Structures are given as structure tokens and as C-alpha cells.
Amino acid sequence: MARVLIENITKSYGETEVLHGINTDIQEGEFIVIVGPSGCGKSTLLRMIAGLEEISSGTISIDDRVVNNLEPKDRDIAMVFQNYALYPHMTVFKNMAYGLQLRKFSRKDIKKRVDQAAKLLQLEELLDRKPRQLSGGQRQRVAMGRCIVREPKVFLFDEPLSNLDAKLRVQMRLELRKLHRRLKVTSIYVTHDQVEAMTLGDRLVVINAGYAEQIGTPLDLYEKPATLFVAGFLGSPAMNFIKAQISADGKQARLSDSVQIPLHTGSADCGGKEVTLGIRPEHFSLTEQGHSTLPLTVDHAEFHGADTIIYGRLPGNDELLTARLPHIHHISQDKVLHLTAAPEHIHLFDPASGKRI
């Protein structure tokens, strides 16, 4: 177990800077997820922690020791990739043992460690098989086993589940979480999948175009997104963004001549301002028509089993709004629904800076 401290890390390829000063303090035993869209710099950051990529500026420390110039093999780190490339001609046992053999462990120690890992990963029955005789999920577990036997201080994962089908991904996600609870090894996990991030991470680092937009627990980020980017990135279906003007006393948001909705009392200092309101689809509820309800003209509805996702438009606004209502609703096109959202669930953002108000 180790603490990993990332301070002002930048990365440039030639003239192009792709990471612009990342800071994160990862605690001993923590499971941190680095999440963001394709190309934002996640793998680059992870590879710098592993020592596979040179650091342009800043420092990375593991347990108070700066590792910038340390060889990957001296960092006491193990990494699982998306393409985990098991050795096809070796058995499961050999695949897990190989790294230890290279490090000159005794046969007895190797057997003990591999047996332990196999038990933990439920691979005991499969130790004599070759990789081609395994399912995708089993192969993924062998790749994990290869890392576990080394008993590293830090685990790094780069999209390790993205080659698996949706069902297996959910199952492996659970297994990873359980494994972490038992081993308690500091883990840094990269994914572009926000659901994976929310369900796996103790804390998330949301990266956008080489900047860390926000760091926090899944609940922090869901309840108090610091920027429009984080607000729109986490949550499915995505948060709705609606332009509005705040009344002079800060108590109402005016969406159009006919639509005004009440705000939380803490909104007083943005009286008169143009803002972007953020409302999550699941925070709308159906109500009777009233003077502060949102009249949504239905475009279409999707049944998702436990709930219904409604797409529709507000008067004078062409953008589709999404509402997620529990249970099944049979709603025909062009019907007008009256929605409300509790003021504490209405987020305010500055449209110019994208920052939360």
C-alpha cells in the first residue's frame, strides 16, 4: 500500500502540451478513477505514473519518494492494460508465475503466491488451461492474477474491461471492487465510461482536454458538479441545460415570458444574471398545471422497464429536454406534461466560464 502524490504534472509531445498541470493526492489504499472522454490524456497520465512515459514537468512521488527518474521495474507498481496479452503457449499457472520467475523467486514462493491469487480470483480449476481455452472474463482475471502475485504497492488499470461484453463488464466491475476490499492496494483506474467510474471509485478525477476539472467522491461530483463539463459528463441520461435569467431578488429563474421557476434561497447574489440552469432528468416530477411548472410538449417517450424517459420541448425553446419518470407512462406525442424540479436540485452555472455559481 502506498500514497501517490501527483504535483503539477505536465506532458508535451513536441510543441503540443496534452496535460496542463495535474494535481492529485492519492491516499494509501484508495481506489481512484481517472475518467474523461477519448484523447483527454488519461492513459498518458497513467503511463507517467508507471514510468512508461517521460514526465515533462512536475513530480510524482510514491510514499514520499520522487519517482520521476526511476525505472518502471523499480517503482513497485503493476499495470493491467486493455489488451492484456497473455502468453498463448503458457498455462494459466505459468502466465501468473512468469514475472516471479524472472525476478528469481523460489519455486516454493511462486507456487504459494500463484495458488493464493488463483483462489482469490476463482481460477483454481483453470490453472492447467491455456488462454485460448478461457472465456474473456477468465482471461481478464488471469491478467489481474499476474499483477496480484507481485504484491505491488500500487495497481494501475487502463480500461481493463473494455474488451468484455456489457454483462461481463458489470460482473467484473463487482469483482474488482471486492478484490480491492480484500487486498486494499492503492489503485488508479482509467476509463472513459462514467458508469464504471461512478461505481468503482472512492474518488474520481475528471479530466477534460488535459485539465483536471474536478476531483471528488462520486456523490460530490453528482450532487455538486463544479463545471458544466462535469455536470454533463456524469449521469445518464445527461443533465439538461437550460438558459435562464435570474430575477432581481434571486428567487426565480425566468426561462421565457411564460415560464418561471422558484430557486433555492442561496441564489441571491446572482440576481439579474443570465445563467445556465442544470436539471438532471431524474429530478423532474409530474404535477398539476401551476404558475411555476414547466410545460413540456412531448416529442417521444422510451420505456426502460423500471422507468420512462420522456423527450420534449418547452415553449419558445427548440432544445430537447429529457425527463426520467419512475414507472411506465403511456404518453402520446404532443401531449403537454407539467413538470417540477425541487429548487435544491437546480444547479446554476455561469455560461461564460462554465463554472458553478
Q: Answer yes or no: are the C-beta atoms of 117 and 86 closer than 8 Å.
A: no
Environment class of 139 (CB within 10 Å of its CB; exposed 0-12, middle 13-18, buried 19+) = buried
Q: Answer yes or no: are the C-beta atoms of 254 and 242 closer than 8 Å.
A: no
| CB of 43 vs Mg ion, minimal distance in Å | 3
> Which residue's CB atom is positioned nearest to Mg ion?
43
39 binds, among ligand ATP, Mg ion, none (CB under 5 to 8 A by kind): ligand ATP
Q: In terms of CB distance, is 44 or 240 closer to ligand ATP?
A: 44
Q: In terms of CB distance, is 43 or 340 closer to ligand ATP?
A: 43
Residue 185 per-residue DSSP state: -
| CB of 45 vs Mg ion, minimal distance in Å | 10
| CB of 187 vs Mg ion, minimal distance in Å | 17
Report d(CA 167, CA 248) in Å as an integer: 51
| CB of 82 vs ligand ATP, minimal distance in Å | 8
Report d(CA 164, CA 161) in Å as an integer: 6
Separation of CA 308 from chain center: 25
280 binds, among ligand ATP, Mg ion, none (CB under 5 to 8 A by kind): none
Size of the site for Mg ion (CB under 5 A): 1
41 binds, among ligand ATP, Mg ion, none (CB under 5 to 8 A by kind): ligand ATP
- Residue 203 φ/ψ, nearest 5 degrees: -135, 155
Pick out residues in 120-149 that bind Mg ion (CB under 5 A).
Answer: none
| CB of 278 vs ligand ATP, minimal distance in Å | 25
Identify which of 323, 259, 336 has the alpha carbon closest to the alpha carbon of residue 296.
336
Pick out residues in 99-118 that bind Mg ion (CB under 5 A).
Answer: none
Report d(CA 143, CA 134) in Å as an integer: 12
β-strand partners of 25: 5
Give the x-and-dash track for 31-50 against Mg ion (CB under 5 A): ------------x-------
Q: Answer yes or no: are the C-beta atoms of 186 and 26 closer than 8 Å.
A: yes
Q: In terms of CB distance, is 18 or 168 closer to ligand ATP?
A: 18
Q: In terms of CB distance, is 80 or 110 closer to Mg ion?
A: 80
Q: In terms of CB distance, is 40 or 114 closer to ligand ATP?
A: 40
38 binds, among Mg ion, ligand ATP, none (CB under 5 to 8 A by kind): ligand ATP
Q: Answer yes or no: are the C-beta atoms of 200 and 31 closer than 8 Å.
A: yes
326 Cβ partners below 8 Å, 6+ apart?
306, 307
**Maximum alpha-carbon separation in the chain:** 79
Q: In terms of CB distance, is 84 or 349 closer to Mg ion?
A: 84
40 binds, among ligand ATP, Mg ion, none (CB under 5 to 8 A by kind): ligand ATP
Q: In terms of CB distance, is 36 or 218 closer to Mg ion?
A: 36
| CB of 41 vs ligand ATP, minimal distance in Å | 4
Cell of 203: 474518488
Q: In terms of CB distance, is 43 or 322 closer to Mg ion?
A: 43
Identify which of 175, 205, 170, 188 has the alpha carbon closest to the alpha carbon of residue 1.
188
Report whether the peptide linkage leading into residue 152 is cis, meaning its omega lies within 30 degrees of zero. Answer: no
Q: Answer yes or no: are the C-beta atoms of 304 and 310 closer than 8 Å.
A: no
Task: By CB under 6 A, name the binding residues for ligand ATP.
Answer: 13, 18, 36, 38-44, 192
Binding site for Mg ion (CB under 5 A): 43
